[in-house]
Structure 1
Amino acid sequence: MNESYSNASASASASASSSSSLNSSFQDTEDDQTIASILGEEENSKLNGRLGKRLSHLDSIPHTPRVNGEIPDVNDATLDHERLFERLVTYGLAELQMEGDGNCQFRALADQLFRNPDYHKHVRKQVIKQLKHFRKLYESYVPMKYKIYLKQMKKLGEWGDHLTLQAAADRFGAKICLVTSFRDTCYIEILPKDNNPTRELWLSFWSEVHYNSLYGSGDVPTRVARKKHWLF
């Protein structure tokens, strides 16, 4: 949010027009975040901390943002899925299944934030803004030209990675709690870099295949079409 929009060489009329347009863009972003906060606040206040108590005895490894690795072969993926399922059962957790359309991470985040996976486009947009506006925080983790990475990640269907998770934690002021299928790592906490988290988001990660939204067993909501606001 630390953009500079001044242009000393522009004419007075052009400057006024540009300022109006950019102020409108800035306001849209602020309005998006306000609506997002309102939509998620009530549900998150009810659920915050409940699931954390079930895994409070587990140590989280330090999170290192990274892009996606290689997709495992069928045998490894099957073993990983079984391992994840057993962990979820052990800790009394259950998944709300997300569509496997390449947007699953953003759908899972949208479900946790707004109780509506259909807001995945808004979540992706906010994550990209975070990555773009605070480039210095993230570009060292990207093993390619940063502009190319952003261009790819903007596309619907592009898989989210551990860098987009960090950006989401930073953008939404959330602690993202990730229950994984990794052999040596059951649980990862992703914390916002500069602020104390104001909410918890719970996701499962079948590496490197799929993300789902997590709830306590018996608390998984029935997926019902909900009214869309103007988040897109």
Structure 2
Amino acid sequence: MNESYSNASASSSSSLNSSSHDTEDDHTIASILAEDEKLRVDGRLGKRLSHLDSIPHTPRVNGEIPDVNDATLDHERLSERLATYDLAELQIEGDGNCQFRALADQLFRNSDYHKHVRKQVVKQLKHHRRLYESYVPMKYRGYLKKMKKTGEWGDHVTLQAAADRFEAKICVVTSFRDTCYIEILPNNGNPTREVWLSFWSEVHYNSLYASGDVPTRAPRKKHWLF
């Protein structure tokens, strides 16, 4: 067997194994989701903000991080909004993965599943390039390569991709001066679950719950894919 054939065979085998693992990943995650019916859309939190108009969501990459004074004012504004609507944050680790950790907490009740969420989001971005490329002001291949890296900050493009991949309505309470509330709907228009996040603009994401319902996360069994 010559070297080129051997490499091709190894590559093919690796591709098949990767495909098999992806399928098993999906099955494992599906079983996790089935454990908790609360993940389905029930609209309980949404009723608190039903009188607010959500602006049309336009996917975008991250803007500039505000200076200390602006960031402090933004945080105060966000805290006031959460208090107004009786919402509370589950604090998410600020290691560069906060968007994916917050999504993992909402989707799987475990922020440690952030690597899987990132993997699925990047897969969505890669396989459905035409849906997202126009919103990315850089070479798309470079953007995908960047987003694959653990610790790379998520943006509003990755939020849209997450909504599409997980068929989720992503509800974001923000610290933006002119935008309190954003709804991100999957492109198919049929969300099967709701995800609630807070966004301290350009700084940090947390996972949102009704006040008094913020969970205390007990360690749960980790699956091999994580």
Whether the TM-score (by the shorter chain) exceeds 0.5 is yes
Q: Any unmatched runs of 5+ in structure 2?
A: none
Query: Which of 187, 193, 197 is matched with 2:187 structurally?
Result: 193
Q: Which residue of 1 aligns with 2:27?
A: 34
What per-residue deviation string (whole Å, max 9, x for no partner) do you get for residues 176-202 of structure 1?
Answer: 000000111110000111240000000
Alignment TM-score, normalising by the size of structure 2: 0.91
Q: Any unmatched runs of 5+ in structure 1?
A: 1-10
CA contact (8 A) 1:40 1:115 kept: no
Query: Which of 211, 219, 226 is matched with 1:225 structurally?
Result: 219
d(CA) in 2 for partners of 1:154, 1:19: 22
d(CA) in 2 for partners of 1:29, 1:228: 17
Q: Which residue of 1 aligns with 2:52?
A: 58
CA contact (8 A) 1:177 1:189 kept: yes
Query: Which of 153, 160, 179 is matched with 2:147 structurally?
Result: 153
Structure 2 SS opposite 1:212: strand
Structure 2 SS opposite 1:184: coil
Structure 1 SS opposite 2:60: coil
CA contact (8 A) 2:160 2:185 kept: yes
d(CA) in 1 for partners of 2:38, 2:28: 14
Structure 1 SS opposite 2:208: strand
Structure 2 SS opposite 1:130: helix
- The alpha-carbon distance between structure 1 residues 17 and 208, as it changes in their structure 2 partners (threshold 3 A), is closer
Query: Which of 65, 86, 91 is matched with 1:92 structurally?
Result: 86
CA contact (8 A) 2:197 2:205 kept: yes
- The alpha-carbon distance between structure 1 residues 43 and 94, as it changes in their structure 2 partners (threshold 3 A), is farther
Alignment TM-score, normalising by the size of structure 1: 0.89
The percent identity for this pair of structures is 77
